[in-house]
Amino acid sequence: MKESDIRPKALMQRYLELTKSDAISCFCSDLREPIPCIACESSDVSSAFEKHGFGYGLCQDCGTLYQTPRPPLSSFEFFYRDSVSSKYFAEIFAPSVQEARQERVFQPRVERLANMCANLGLDVQRLIDVGAGYGNFLNECRKRFPDTDMVAVEPSAALAIECRSKGFEVVESFVEQVGTDYEGFADLVVSFEVLEHVHEPVAFMKSLKRLARPGGMVLVTTLCIDGFDLQTCWDEADQISPPHHINFFSVSGFKKLFKRVGLIDINVSTPGKLDVDIVRNAFHKNPNILQGQNFLKHIIRDEQAASAFQIFLAENCLSSHAWVIGKLPNEG
């Protein structure tokens, strides 16, 4: 799989341009507060860089990168509700790549999840997808697990309609505001590519945990700052795109976050496939990114070496695409 398969260059460039403009127009008058590490609560945080007017700090204890000082939640709610880039993503970008993502993202995602549950001995009779979007994951999951009860949690009214049109039970709400009817409901709670966006990660993770039964599990997938492409491109990485992406946990940070909210048997894996291609594309756009890195230039130019290196990254928790799963303790 190539980056262009799921992020066409022209569409991605336009999205990034709109995001940069929104970062200024939607956050011009907010009051920002410095916050401790979102993973381990450490106050030993150094300034990493600024991008589009948003500062990022790097935790010296766990290596997590995150946006600070942080605007208030109300500013982000306004941004996601009214910004041009959010509208562009929902109405143009996402529909344009939906078919490609179904084949290259959602089908492999369900296959990997099925294997993971089998290896863990987890029988999923009830599943909640938090941030369900268009319902594409659940739609694919239903083909594999037709007898599983599936619930979509989706705060966007337009996307909630999409999920209902596919026949899913929908809770139209932010997960932090989901009522007690779903407390302890699911054998497995999943949230794909959401954690990098949320204003208060600890509150978000506690809310995911609340929806799972004792002995059940919580799975999130998100960006990992330990990944090859993010470490190489750093502040020039397209994935670091405030105000959309504000949280980049390290592998150590994921474990600390999950432990903080009371999850056990935590496992972090990075099955990413795009790191080398992302760096290759960034190098073509700006050769200075790999200035003096002759070995990396050789890797990205040799398809066989690039493929082998990507496998190495995935197998050694060095990809920027992470899967993190933790278990709720059994009662008693």
Task: Tell me the CA distances in angstroms from 332 to 141, 209, 258, 329, one per residue in order.
Answer: 32, 17, 20, 8
DSSP assigned state of 223: E
Q: What percent of the chain has pLDDT over 70?
A: 100
- Looking at residues 168-177, what average pLDDT do you find? 95
The pLDDT tens digits of the residues spanning 53-90 come to 999 999 999 999 999 999 999 999 889 888 999 889 88
Mean pLDDT (the chain, rounded)? 95
Containing 304, the helix (H) or strand (E) segment is helix 303-315
Instruction: Look at residue 332 in the predicted model and tell me its pLDDT.
Output: 47
Q: How confident is the model at residue 15 (pLDDT cuts 50, 70, 90)?
A: very high
Q: How far apart are CA 279 and CA 257, in angstroms?
A: 28
Partners of 247 in beta bridges: 66
Q: Can you list the domains of the chain with their CATH numbers?
A: 3-327 (3.40.50.150)
Q: Describe the crossing of helices 107-120 and 136-144 by its angle, rounded to 10 degrees.
A: 50
Q: Is the pLDDT of residue 279 over 60?
A: yes
pLDDT recorded at residue 167 = 96
Tell me what pLDDT residue 329 has. Answer: 96
For the chain, the residue count is 332
CA distance linking residue 317 with residue 250, whole number of Å? 10
**How confident is the model over 211-234, as a mean pLDDT?**
98
Query: How many angstroms separate the CA atoms of 238 and 13, rounded?
Result: 9
Lowest mean per-residue pLDDT among 10-19, 203-212, 253-262: 10-19
CB 5 within 8 A of CB 100: yes
Q: Could you tell me which of 112, 108, 323 has the C-alpha nearest to residue 224?
A: 323
46 class by beta-carbon count within 10 Å (0-12 exposed, 13-18 middle, 19+ buried): exposed
Strand partners, 191: 220
The tens digit of pLDDT for each residue in 207-221 reads: 999 999 999 999 999
Which among 221, 232, 194, 192 has a CA at the least distance from the CA of 313?
Answer: 232
* pLDDT number for residue 331: 75
Distances (CA, A) of 163 to 62, 135, 170, 195, 302: 37, 5, 7, 20, 42
Structural contact between residues 210 and 234, judged by C-beta atoms closer than 8 angstroms: no
DSSP string for residues in 64-126: -EEE-SB--HHHHHHHHHH-HHHHHIIIIIHHHHHHHHIIIIIHHHHHHHHHHHHHHT---SE
pLDDT at 90: 86
Instruction: Please report, for residues 273, 295, 300, 312, 313, the alpha-carbon distance to residue 308 in angstroms, rounded to integers and kept in the order given.
Output: 11, 14, 11, 6, 9
